Amino acid sequence: MSRRIQSRFHLLRQQGRKALIPFVTAGDPNPEVTLPLMQALVAAGADIIELGVPFSDPMADGPIIQRASERALQHRVNLRLVLDMVREFRRTDDSTPVVLMGYLNPIEIMGHETFANQAAAAGVDGILVVDSPPEEGTKLLEALNRYGIAHIFLIAPTTSDERIAWICTKASGFVYYVSIKGVTGATHLDLGPVAEKLATIRGFTDLPLGVGFGIKDAATAAAVAAIADAVIVGSAIVKRIEDLATSPAEIPTRIGDFVTELRQAMDTTTLVDP
Active-site amino acid positions: 50, 61
Q: Are 200 and 164 in contact (CB under 8 A)?
A: yes
Residue 152 contacts residue 172 (beta carbons within 8 Å): yes
Angle of CA points 166, 106, 141, to nearest 5°:
30
Rounded to whole angstroms, how far apart are CA atoms 104 and 88? 24
Ramachandran bin of 165, using left for φ above 0, alpha for ψ from -120 to 50, beta for the remaining angles = alpha
Backbone angles phi, psi at 124, to 5 degrees: -75, 140
* Dihedral sign, Cα of residue 225, residue 58, residue 55, residue 168: positive
